[in-house]
C-alpha cells in the first residue's frame, strides 16, 4: 500500500488497515529484499511497539503507526548494532536519542539496515553482509553508506528510514533510488547513540518518499539533546513552514566545474533539471564553486580521516582482519596524521568557509547534481576507491562548510534510472530547502521511490492537519501580482496552480487596488485560473481581516470537482464591476 504518512494515516482512520495488520504484511515483504537488512525485527520483537500505540492517541502523535528503518550504526535498544562489522557488535541498553523521539511520536521500527562498513563509502557494496542492489536495477549500486535504509524506503516497506551523512551518505543513495534525502544542519538531529565516523561532522539523515514526509520526521526528530556536545538548538525561524518566493535565484557551478565522469545520461539530466527549476520561476546564476570543491578534498585527503581512525582505533590496531581491506586501507591512514596537519587544514577550511558564506548569502539556494554519475556494481569493484571518490565530488564539502542540504529526485535518465539534484544553503535553512523540494516534486510528478504509486499533492494533507489551511486565490493575490506579499509574509506557500470549475463569472471591482469578484453562475459560467496557497492557521485570521467588501471567503469548486476555501464575492459585485469573464484569468485581464 501507499506508505506516505498522509496516506497511511487515512488508511488507519478509515479502518482499511491496522498497525498490527500492516506490520505483519510489511515484515513478509521486507524479508524478500536482498542484502537490505542486518537485523529484521521478529514479530515478537516488534509487538511491544505496536502495543504501546494503545496509550498514544493518534491525534497527539504525528508518526502514529508509521513504520521506519534504522541504519545499523544507530542504536535500537535490545537489538545488536554492528556498523557493518561482526567483530564490533554490541547490544545497546537504550536507543539513540533520535530514535527515542520517533518512537515517542508513534513510529514503529522495522529493522536495522545494511551499510558500507563503519559508514565509510558512497557505494553500498562495502559490507560483509553483501552488496545492496539498486531498487530499480540490481546491476547498479544502491549508493552508500546508507544503502539498506534507502532501498527499504524505495521498495515501499517503510515510510521513511534513518541514515547517516558525513560525506554524502544520506544524499547519494536518495539520488540513486528516487527518494528525498534530508541532510539537516549539523547538530539538529542528535548523534547520541550513533557509532561515530567523523564525530565533528556526522549527521543523522532521513530518507523519505516525499519532502512532506521528510518535514514531518524532521519536526519530531530535531530536538535538542543536552547529552550530545554537538547538539544545536533549532531556531524559531527554522520551525514550521518557511516560505520561498515564487521567483527565486539558484546558483550552479561554472560549466568547467561540472563533472559527470563521462556519463552523458547524467549530464543531460542535470541540464533538464535546471530547466525545470527555471520553469518553476527560478533564475540561474553561475558561480565559482572552487572553495566548495577545494573543501571537499580535505575530507579524505586531510586530517578528518584521523577522526575515522579514532572511532575505530581498537579494531584497526588490534584486529585489522575484522575490517574489509578497502575500509582498513582508508581508515588506517588516519594514524599517520599530525596535529600540525590538522591545524593547517583548519586554517584552509576557515578561509574557504568565509568565501562560501558570501556565495550562499547571494542567492536563495545553490544547486548541483547529487552525484555526477551512477556506476554498476561491477564498475565499482574494478576501481573501488577512485570511483567512490568521484561520487563524493558534489557531497564531501557539505558538513565541513556547515551547510544544510536536501537531495530531491527530478527525473529518470534516458536509460531509465533515477536522477536528482541537491539543493543546499546555510545552516538552519532546512525548512526553506524542504519547501522548495516539495515544489520540485510537485513539478516533476515522479513515482514514489520504486513503488507503483505516483506523487500526489494530497501528501499535503498531513501538513494541513498539523495546523495549516488551504486558501484559493484568483486575482491580486496570485503569484507575481500586487497583493501576493500578503500571502508570503504570512509564511504561505504555493500548493497548486489549476482552474476553477466552469461555473463562475468574474467582475473587475474598482478600488485603491482593482480586485476580481468571482460569482458562481452554473448556467453560463466559465473556468478561471486559480492558485491554492497553504498558510498557517494562526495567520488566517489576520489575512481574512484585510479583505474588503464585496469580497469574502467561502467555498470554490475546482475543475476536478473538489472544493477549496477561497475568495468569493457578494452578488451586488456584478452591478458595480466590469464583467471580464472572457479572459478566463485575472492575470490575462490585467495584461490587456
Active site residue 169: yes
Q: Which three cell numbers stand for residue 457?
A: 499533492
* Cα angle for residues 58, 59, 61 (degrees, 5° grid): 60
H or E element at residue 573: helix 573-576
Q: Which residues of 307-342 are buried (b: 16+ CB within 10 A; e: fewer)?
A: bbbebbeebbeeeeebbbebbbebbbebeebeeeee
Query: Which residues does 471 contact at the CB level (< 8 Å), separation at least 6?
Result: 487, 492, 532, 533, 534, 535, 540, 543, 553, 564, 565, 566
Rounded CA separation 273/155 (Å): 24
DSSP codes, 21-85 = HHHHHHHHHHTTSTT-EEEEPPHHHHHHHHHGGGGS-GGG-TTTT-EEEEETTB-BTTB-B-TT-
Rounded CA separation 230/403 (Å): 15
Q: Which three cell numbers stand for residue 560?
A: 476536478
Rounded CA separation 574/571 (Å): 6
Rounded CA separation 486/210 (Å): 28
* Cα angle for residues 23, 24, 28 (degrees, 5° grid): 110
Nearest CA-CA partner of 163 in 188, 194, 186: 194
Rounded CA separation 143/141 (Å): 5
| Cis peptide upstream of residue 529 (ω within 30 degrees of 0) | no
Contact 193, 228 (CB under 8 A): no
Contact 302, 341 (CB under 8 A): yes
* Mode of pairing for the β-strands spanning 468-473 and 551-557: unpaired
Catalytic, out of 159, 169, 273, 585: 169
Q: Which residues of 416-433 are buried (b: 16+ CB within 10 A; e: fewer)?
A: ebbbbbbbbbbbbbbbbb
H or E element at residue 181: strand 180-183
CA-based end-to-end distance of the chain:
49
Catalytic, out of 9, 71, 112, 432: 71
Q: Which three cell numbers stand for residue 564?
A: 477549496
Catalytic, out of 95, 127, 142, 145: 145
Rounded CA separation 40/547 (Å): 56
* Residue corresponding to grid cell 516497506: 157
Quick one: CA dihedral 275, 258, 360, 225, positive or negative?
A: positive
Rounded CA separation 140/163 (Å): 20
Active site residue 145: yes
Catalytic residues: 71, 145, 169
Amino acid at each position: 500500500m501507499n506508505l506516505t504518512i498522509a496516506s497511511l494515516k487515512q488508511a488507519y482512520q478509515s479502518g482499511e488497515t491496522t498497525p498490527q495488520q500492516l506490520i505483519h504484511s510489511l515484515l513478509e515483504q521486507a524479508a524478500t529484499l536482498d542484502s537490505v537488512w542486518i537485523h529484521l525485527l521478529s514479530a515478537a520483537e516488534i509487538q511491544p511497539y505496536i502495543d504501546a500505540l494503545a496509550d498514544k492517541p493518534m491525534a497527539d502523535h504525528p508518526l502514529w503507526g508509521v513504520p521506519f528503518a534504522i541504519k545499523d550504526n544507530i542504536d535500537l535498544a535490545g537489538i545488536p548494532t554492528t556498523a557493518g562489522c561482526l567483530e564490533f557488535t554490541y547490544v545497546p541498553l537504550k536507543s539513540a536519542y533520535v530514535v527515542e523521539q520517533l518512537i515517542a511520536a508513534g513510529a514503529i521500527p522495522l529493522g536495522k539496515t545494511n551499510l558500507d562498513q563503519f559508514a565509510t563509502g558512497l557505494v553500498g557494496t562495502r559490507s560483509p553482509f553483501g552488496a545492496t542492489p539498486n531498487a530499480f536495477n540490481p546491476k547498479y549500486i544502491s549508493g552508500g553508506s546508507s544503502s539498506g535504509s534507502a532501498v527499504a524506503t524505495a521498495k515501499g516497506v517503510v515510510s521513511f528510514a534513518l541514515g547517516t551523512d558525513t560525506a554524502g551518505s544520506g544524499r547519494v543513495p536518495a539520488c540513486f533510488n528516487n527518494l528525498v534525502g534530508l541532510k539537516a544542519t549539523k547538530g539538529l538531529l542528535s548523534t547520541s547513540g550513533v557509532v561515530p565516523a567523523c564525530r565533528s561532522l556526522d549527521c543523522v539523515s532521513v530518507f523519505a518518499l516525499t519532502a512532506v514526509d521528510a518535514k514531518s520526521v524532521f519536526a519530531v526528530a530535531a530536538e535538542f539533546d543536552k547529552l550530545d556536545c554537538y547538539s544545536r538548538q533549532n531556531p524559531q525561524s527554522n520551525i514550521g513552514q518557511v516560505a520561498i518566493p515564487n521567483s527565486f535565484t539558484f546558483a550552479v557551478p561554472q560549466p568547467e566545474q561540472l563533472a559527470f565522469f563521462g556519463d552523458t545520461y547524467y549530464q543531460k539530466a542535470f541540464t533538464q533539471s535546471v530547466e525545470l527549476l527555471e520553469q518553476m520561476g527560478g533564475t540561474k546564476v553561475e558561480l565559482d564553486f572552487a572553495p566548495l570543491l577545494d573543501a571537499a578534498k580535505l575530507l579524505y585527503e586531510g586530517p578528518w580521516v584521523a577522526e575515522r581512525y579514532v572511532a575505530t582505533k581498537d579494531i584497526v590496531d588490534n584486529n585489522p582482519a575484522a575490517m574489509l581491506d578497502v575500509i582498513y586501507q582508508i581508515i588506517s591512514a588516519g594514524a599517520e596524521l599530525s596535529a600540525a596537519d590538522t591545524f593547517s587544514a583548519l586554517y584552509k577550511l576557515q578561509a574557504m568557509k568565509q568565501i562560501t558564506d558570501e556565495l550562499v548569502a547571494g542567492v536563495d539556494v545553490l544547486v548541483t547534481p547529487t552525484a555526477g554519475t551512477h556506476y554498476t556494481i561491477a564498475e565499482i569493484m574494478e576501481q573501488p576507491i577512485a570511483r567512490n571518490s568521484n561520487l563524493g565530488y558534489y557531497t564531501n564539502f557539505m558538513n565541513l562548510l556547515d551547510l544544510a542540504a536536501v537531495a530531491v529526485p527530478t527525473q529518470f535518465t534516458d536509460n531509465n534510472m533515477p536522477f536528482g539534484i541537491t539543493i543546499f544553503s546555510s545552516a538552519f535553512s532546512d525548512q526553506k530547502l524542504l519547501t522548495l523540494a516539495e515544489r520540485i516534486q510537485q513539478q516533476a510528478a515522479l513515482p514514489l521511490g520504486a513503488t507503483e504509486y505516483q506523487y500526489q499533492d494530497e501528501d499535503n494533507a498531513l501538513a494541513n492537519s498539523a495546523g495549516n489551511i488551504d486558501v484559493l486565490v484568483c486575482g491580486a493575490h496570485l503569484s507575481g501580482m500586487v497583493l501576493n506579499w500578503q500571502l508570503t509574509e504570512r509564511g504561505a506557500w504555493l500548493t497548486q496552480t489549476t482552474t476553477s470549475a466552469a461555473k463562475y463569472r468574474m467582475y473587475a471591482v474598482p478600488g485603491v487596488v482593482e480586485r476580481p469578484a468571482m460569482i458562481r453562475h452554473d448556467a453560463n459560467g466559465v473556468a478561471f485560473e486559480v492558485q491554492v496557497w497553504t498558510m498557517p492557521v494562526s495567520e488566517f485570521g489576520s489575512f481574512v481581516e484585510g479583505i474588503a467588501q464585496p469580497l469574502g471567503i467561502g467555498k470554490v469548486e475546482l475543475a476536478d470537482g473538489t472544493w477549496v476555501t477561497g475568495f468569493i464575492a457578494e452578488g451586488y459585485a456584478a452591478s458595480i464591476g466590469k464583467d471580464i469573464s472572457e479572459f478566463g484569468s485575472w492575470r490575462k485581464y490585467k495584461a490587456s
